[in-house]
Amino acid sequence: MLAEQNVNPSDKYLACNSILDSDSIVLLKKNVTEFCKNHEQDALYHEFINLQPSGKELAVVTLYAYADMPLPITFDTLFIIEKPEIYTEAAFTVKMSIINGWIPVDQIAHGHKHVLVLKFEDTIPEILTQSRVRGSQRLGLCNRIDFPAIQANLLANAL
């Protein structure tokens, strides 16, 4: 178990490699239902299966998490990992997590991939709706306080 406070600020971001459209969410629900057929179907399961994303919610696929984090958790900065000078500040909460695309859980687990459901305080920011995020570039999710260290590290290590 790796606590968030034990992570270097330059590493405190989640890397998102895709944004799920409504068809993908339907397919994910089908896969979760199949996986959970022989497992306990708790409140988290039912909340996800009954999810109907609002205009302020979005599901994303994240790569290996940098720490263990209980939900809900809030972030306020989104950026293009390959071009960290492109970023925006927008408050949002991670309200659901599906670990490895299998089962809803109440946390983001260190070293695992997740499908996360994000809920924005305001509208979904343009950085998430622009086509450049949906291509080969990845999106970073973090907190403003850590972003300068993240940005400096990514720029220093750019190829």
> Which amino acid appears at position 18 of this protein?
S
Lowest mean pLDDT among 19-23, 72-76, 138-142, 150-154: 19-23
Band (pLDDT 50/70/90 cuts) for residue 39 is: confident
Q: Average pLDDT for residues 145-153, to the nearest whole number?
A: 98
Collapsing DSSP to helix, strand or coil, 153 comes out as helix
Structural domain span for residue 55: 4-156
Sign of the Cα pseudo-torsion (52, 56, 73, 156, in order): positive
Q: What is the pLDDT of residue 159?
A: 55
Mean pLDDT of 20-28: 93
Residue pLDDT, tens place only, 90-134:
999 999 999 998 999 999 999 999 999 999 999 999 998 774 555
pLDDT at position 128:
86
Check residue 134 and give its pLDDT.
Answer: 53
- How many structural domains does the chain have? 1
Q: What is the mean pLDDT of residues 16-44?
A: 92
Find the CATH number of the domain harbouring 73: 2.40.30.10
The Cβ of residue 118 has, within 10 Å, a number of other Cβ atoms equal to: 23
pTM, full prediction: 0.93
Task: Tally DSSP H helices, then E strands, for the chain.
Answer: 5, 9
